[in-house]
Chain A
Amino acid sequence: MFECNICLDTAKDAVVSMCGHLFCWPCLHQWLETRPMKQLCPVCKAAISKDKVIPLYGRGSKQQEDPRNKVPPRPAGQRTEPENTGFPGFGFGDGGFHMSFGIGAFPFGFITSTFNGGHEQRPHIFQDRGVVNPEDEVLSKLFLYVAITIFLWLLIA
């Protein structure tokens, strides 16, 4: 049940993707490194990335060592505050959460067959599904921070 989808062993330093698939963090990390330009869930081929996996912490059992201190570090858990503060996108790292929602629901086969005329499933279709390119994301965050800096500077000046 709680076996990693890559090493087929009981998941160690477990993380779960937004599409619900369980992996050891070291296993998933290695897969993401294998194809850095094409990060897809090994099981269902949904877009996946380091920022969009959730670490699972079981109850108390063996907490002698923080798994994140290990190499490669497991991404930290993310908390979104229950109430909307009215200024979306200000907090670090919550952009990932908002953007990852629309991903799971698209029917795969439909788009595939439309675009490829009966060819086998090719991964490039995932670019058509509104999945955020990691580079764009970095860029848009950068712009946001530049904008905020200028805004603050204007306030002070």
Chain B
Amino acid sequence: MALKFNRNKHNSKIILDGERWERRLQKELMSLVREPPPGVVVDSDQGENLSLWTINMTGAEGTLYEGEHFTLQFKFSPKYPFDSPEVTFIGPNIPVHPHVYSNGHICLSILTDDWSPALSVQTVCLSIVSMLSSCKEKKRPPDNSFYVKTCNKNPKKTKWWYHDDTV
């Protein structure tokens, strides 16, 4: 309690907001733990201030990723949910997919231009699950090696061109 009070003093303009958005993240976490999308496993312990989550994902049965395990990282800025979360695949197994770069960056419009504060971790997970599930051929994006060498660490800094979304 004392800690919270101190932090608020620094930034009096977002006192209410800060608590509000932390509450929203807490709510999201609860509902995600309670009713995760298929193949998604979330640990209810996501660190102290909830600004960094790791989510485990298993490739759905009957898809090219069946049985594979992936880890997604969500990074939330203080402006969440007005600002989209930074979402990347991390860990040893990055799915081989035409919209996923080998450094874990994901080309998905709801993560930048089409983000809306009515979206949530849950809906983002669902989009990623369906993006993987509808894949017909496992391959990297055509510009993978160039992109990985030149991109910013933060995928949100990339000006994505949402190419062929038939996959």
Interface range on chain A (Cβ under 8 Å from partner): 20 to 34
Q: How far is the CA of A45 from the CA of B113 in the complex (A)?
A: 12
In the complex, are the beta carbons of A120 and B24 less than 8 A apart? no
Mask: chain A, 106-149; 1 = CB below 8 Å from B; 0 = not: 00000000000011111100000000000000000000000000
Contacts known (A6-B117, A119-B165); A30 close to B82, Cβ less than 8 A = yes
Q: How far is the CA of A122 from the CA of B114 in the complex (A)?
A: 7
Instruction: Please give the distance in Å from B28's CB to the nearest CB on chain A.
Output: 7
Q: How far is the CA of A8 from the CA of B164 in the complex (A)?
A: 34
Collect the chain B residues with CB atoms within 8 Å of residue A7's CB.
Answer: 20-21, 23-24, 81
- The verdict on B130 contacting chain A, using a C-beta distance below 8 Å, is no
Within 8 A of B (CB), among A4-62: 5-9, 21, 27, 30-31, 34, 40, 42-43, 45
Mask: chain B, 103-121; 1 = CB below 8 Å from A; 0 = not: 0000001000110111100
Collect the chain A residues with CB atoms within 8 Å of residue B20's CB.
Answer: 7, 9
Contacts known (A8-B28, A31-B82); A123 close to B113, Cβ less than 8 A = yes
**What residue of chain B has the Cβ atom nearest to residue A33's Cβ?**
B82
Within 8 A of A (CB), among B94-110: 109
Instruction: Please give the distance in Å from B40's CB to the nearest CB on chain A.
Output: 19
Instruction: Please give the distance in Å from A39's CB to the nearest CB on chain B.
Output: 11
Instruction: Please give the distance in Å from A36's CB to the nearest CB on chain B.
Output: 12
- Majority DSSP secondary structure for residues of B touching A: loop
Collect the chain B residues with CB atoms within 8 Å of residue A45's CB.
Answer: 116
- The verdict on B34 contacting chain A, using a C-beta distance below 8 Å, is no
Contacts known (A6-B81, A42-B118); A122 close to B21, Cβ less than 8 A = no
In the complex, are the beta carbons of B24 and A8 less than 8 A apart? yes
- The verdict on B5 contacting chain A, using a C-beta distance below 8 Å, is no
In the complex, are the beta carbons of B82 and A122 less than 8 A apart? no
Q: Choose one: A40, A42, A119; the contact of B162 (CB below 8 Å).
A: A119
Collect the chain A residues with CB atoms within 8 Å of residue B24's CB.
Answer: 7-9
Contacts known (A8-B24, A9-B23, A34-B82); A27 close to B162, Cβ less than 8 A = no
Q: How far is the CA of A31 from the CA of B84 in the complex (A)?
A: 12
Q: How far is the CA of A40 from the CA of B166 in the complex (A)?
A: 25
Collect the chain B residues with CB atoms within 8 Å of residue A34's CB.
Answer: 79, 82-83
In the complex, are the beta carbons of A123 and B117 less than 8 A apart? no
Q: A5-B117, A42-B117, A42-B118 are in contact. List 11 more A-B contacts (CB 8 A).
A: A5-B118, A6-B118, A7-B20, A7-B81, A8-B24, A8-B27, A9-B23, A9-B27, A121-B109, A121-B114, A123-B113
By a beta-carbon cutoff of 8 Å, the part of chain B in contact with chain A is: 17, 20-21, 23-24, 27-28, 79, 81-83, 109, 113-114, 116-119, 162-166
